[in-house]
C-alpha cells in the first residue's frame, strides 16, 4: 500500500510541479505527518524532492527528474475509458480527445488493447437530453484557451432574462456540472459564474488575467453552489401524495429521506421545497386528486381558489360552445 502511495505522490508532483503538504494529504487521504514521512522516504531512496518554505511553500521535484508511468491496471483502464470523448460536448474538443484516446490505445500492450477496445464497444454516452435539447458549447474552445493561457476574454453574454450584455472578464477556470459547462471569472464586481452555452460571441484580448492569489476553483465552486442552493428553494410545503405521485415528485425534486413519511393507507407525506408559492401552487394543481396539502394553509386556500376559478372558466367555455352550436 505504501509503495502505491509513494508512486502516486511522485505522479502528483510531476503533474502539478508544486503541492503543499495539506494538498498532498487531501489528495492521498492521509495525514500531514504521513506525507512528511513519505517525503523523507523518497529522499532517502535518492528521489530529488525538495521542501519549499514560506507562504507559497510545499513540496516539489527537481525539474530535470522524471519517472516512467507504470502500466495501467484493468480497473484504472476501465475508469479512464468511462470518460468518453463525446462527454465533452463540443465536436472539436471531442475530436481532439478521441485522437488522444487513440494514441493511448496504440501504446497499450496487445492483450490490454483488445480489452480496451471491447470496453469502448460496450459503452455509449448520449449527451442529448430527453426533450431533444443540448447545450450550445460552440464557445467552449475559446473559453478553454483563455483559461489555459490566462488571457482576458471579451464576450457577448445572454443573461437568464434574455438580456444581452457585453463583458470583459478574467477567466479563472472551467467547471462541468453534468453536461453543462460553466466559466468562473473575475469581474469588476467580484467572482462570477457564467454558463458557457449563453456566451454568444467571444474574443481573446492581448492582456493578462489578474488571478487572485488565494483562489481555488474547487473551493469556490463548492461554496458558491451551496449558497445558491440555500437561496434557491425558499417556500416549503408538506404534501400527502398517492404512492405513484410521490415517486414522480421524488424524482423531479430534491427530497431528503428524512422528509419522507408513509401513512397507514399507503399514501406518502413529503416535505418539499419550492422556489415560491406560485410554483408550489402550479405543481400541486397538476397532481389533481392524487395530492392533499397538509401545510401551509395559505397554499391550500390558494389551491382551492385556483381550482374554483378553473372550474368556472370551464363552465363558461362549455356554455359558449353550446350556444354556438344552438
pLDDT tens-digit map of 216-225 = 998 999 998 8
- pLDDT for 203 equals 95
Query: What is the CATH architecture assignment of 140-224?
Result: Roll (2.30)
Sheet architecture: strand order including 268-274: 260-262, 268-274, 235-241, 291-295
Which carries the bigger pLDDT value, residue 253 or residue 312? 312
Binned at pLDDT 50, 70 and 90, residue 198 comes out as: very high
- pLDDT for 69 equals 55
Binned at pLDDT 50, 70 and 90, residue 119 comes out as: confident
- pLDDT for 195 equals 93
The answer regarding whether domain 235-317 maps to CATH 3.30.70 reads: yes
Q: Which of 247, 245, 254 is nearest to 291 (CA)?
A: 245
Give the mean pLDDT of the chain: 81
pLDDT at 258 over 60: no
Tell me how far apart the alpha carbons of residues 130 and 270 are, in angstroms, rounded to a whole number. Answer: 27
DSSP assignments along 80-98, one per residue: HHHS-GGGG--HHHHHHHH
Tell me how far apart the alpha carbons of residues 129 and 126 are, in angstroms, rounded to a whole number. Answer: 8
The count of other CB atoms within 10 Å of the CB of residue 102 is 11
pLDDT at 255 over 60: no
Partners of 299 in beta bridges: none
Q: Which fold has domain 2-61?
A: Arc Repressor Mutant, subunit A (1.10.10)
Give residue limits of the domains in the chain: 2-61, 74-121, 140-224, 235-317
Tell me how far apart the alpha carbons of residues 8 and 76 are, in angstroms, rounded to a whole number. Answer: 13
- For 191, half-sphere exposure in the C-beta direction (CA atoms, 13 angstrom radius) is 16
Q: pTM of this prediction?
A: 0.56
In order of 71, 105, 112, 279, the CA distances from 118 in angstroms are: 19, 12, 10, 47
Q: Do domains 140-224 and 235-317 have the same CATH topology?
A: no
Q: Which residues of 14-39 are buried (b: 16+ CB within 10 A; e: fewer)?
A: eeeeebebebbbeebebeeebbeebb
Which carries the bigger pLDDT value, residue 53 or residue 92? 53
Amino acid at each position: 500500500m505504501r509503495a502505491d502511495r509513494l508512486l502516486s505522490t511522485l505522479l502528483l508532483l510531476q503533474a502539478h510541479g508544486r503541492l503543499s503538504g495539506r494538498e498532498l494529504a487531501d489528495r492521498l487521504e492521509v495525514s500531514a505527518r504521513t506525507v512528511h514521512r513519505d517525503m523523507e522516504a523518497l529522499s532517502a531512496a535518492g528521489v530529488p524532492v525538495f521542501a519549499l518554505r514560506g507562504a507559497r511553500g510545499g513540496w516539489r521535484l527537481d525539474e530535470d527528474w522524471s519517472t516512467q508511468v507504470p502500466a495501467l491496471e484493468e480497473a484504472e483502464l476501465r475508469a479512464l475509458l468511462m470518460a468518453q470523448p463525446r462527454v465533452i460536448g463540443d465536436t472539436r474538443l471531442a475530436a481532439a480527445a478521441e485522437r488522444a484516446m487513440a494514441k493511448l490505445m496504440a501504446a497499450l500492450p496487445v492483450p490490454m488493447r483488445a480489452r480496451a477496445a471491447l470496453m469502448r464497444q460496450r459503452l455509449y454516452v448520449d449527451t442529448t437530453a430527453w426533450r431533444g435539447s443540448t447545450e450550445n458549447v460552440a464557445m467552449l474552445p475559446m473559453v478553454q484557451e483563455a483559461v489555459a493561457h490566462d488571457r482576458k476574454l471579451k464576450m457577448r453574454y445572454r443573461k437568464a432574462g434574455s438580456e444581452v450584455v457585453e463583458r470583459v472578464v478574467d477567466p479563472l477556470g472551467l467547471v462541468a456540472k453534468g453536461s453543462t459547462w460553466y466559466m468562473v471569472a473575475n469581474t469588476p464586481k467580484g467572482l462570477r459564474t457564467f454558463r458557457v452555452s449563453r456566451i454568444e460571441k467571444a474574443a481573446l484580448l492581448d492582456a493578462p488575467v489578474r488571478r487572485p492569489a488565494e483562489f481555488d476553483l474547487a473551493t469556490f465552486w463548492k461554496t458558491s453552489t451551496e449558497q445558491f442552493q440555500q437561496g434557491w428553494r425558499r417556500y416549503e410545503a408538506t404534501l400527502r401524495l398517492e404512492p405513484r405521485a410521490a415517486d414522480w415528485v421524488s424524482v423531479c425534486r430534491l427530497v431528503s429521506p428524512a422528509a419522507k413519511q408513509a401513512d397507514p393507507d399507503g399514501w406518502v407525506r413529503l416535505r418539499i421545497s419550492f422556489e415560491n408559492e406560485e410554483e408550489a401552487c402550479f405543481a400541486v394543481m397538476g397532481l389533481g386528486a392524487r395530492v392533499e396539502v397538509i401545510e401551509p394553509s395559505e397554499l391550500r386556500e390558494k389551491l382551492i381558489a385556483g381550482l374554483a376559478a378553473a372550474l368556472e372558466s370551464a363552465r363558461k367555455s362549455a356554455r359558449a360552445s353550446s350556444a354556438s352550436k344552438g
